[in-house]
C-alpha cells in the first residue's frame, strides 16, 4: 500500500498535509491531493445515487 493511501485511510478528515521538502514528500503530497479529490468525487457520486 502506498504512503498517500495510508495517510488517506488513517487520517480520513485531513485537510492539510505537509511531509517534508524532498522529492518523496512532493510526490506523496501530490498523490494524496489527487487521491483525496478522487475520493471526494466518488463520495459525490454515491450521494447522488443515494438521493435518487
- Min separation Cβ 1 and other proteins, Å: 7
- Could you give the CA distance from residue 4 to residue 23 in angstroms, rounded to a whole number? 14
Residue 22 grid cell: 524532498
- Could you give the CA distance from residue 21 to residue 10 in angstroms, rounded to a whole number? 22
User: 5: number of CA atoms within 13 Å, CB side?
Assistant: 2
- Name the residue nearer to other proteins (CB basis): 1 or 52: 1
- Min separation Cβ 33 and other proteins, Å: 11
- Please give the residue ranges that form the binding site for other proteins (CB under 8 A): 1-28, 30-31, 34-35, 38-39, 42
- Min separation Cβ 39 and other proteins, Å: 6
Amino acid at each position: 500500500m502506498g504512503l498517500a493511501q495510508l495517510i488517506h485511510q488513517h487520517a480520513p478528515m485531513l485537510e492539510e498535509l505537509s511531509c517534508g521538502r524532498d522529492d518523496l514528500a512532493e510526490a506523496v503530497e501530490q498523490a494524496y491531493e489527487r487521491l483525496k479529490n478522487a475520493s471526494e468525487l466518488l463520495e459525490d457520486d454515491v450521494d447522488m445515487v443515494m438521493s435518487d
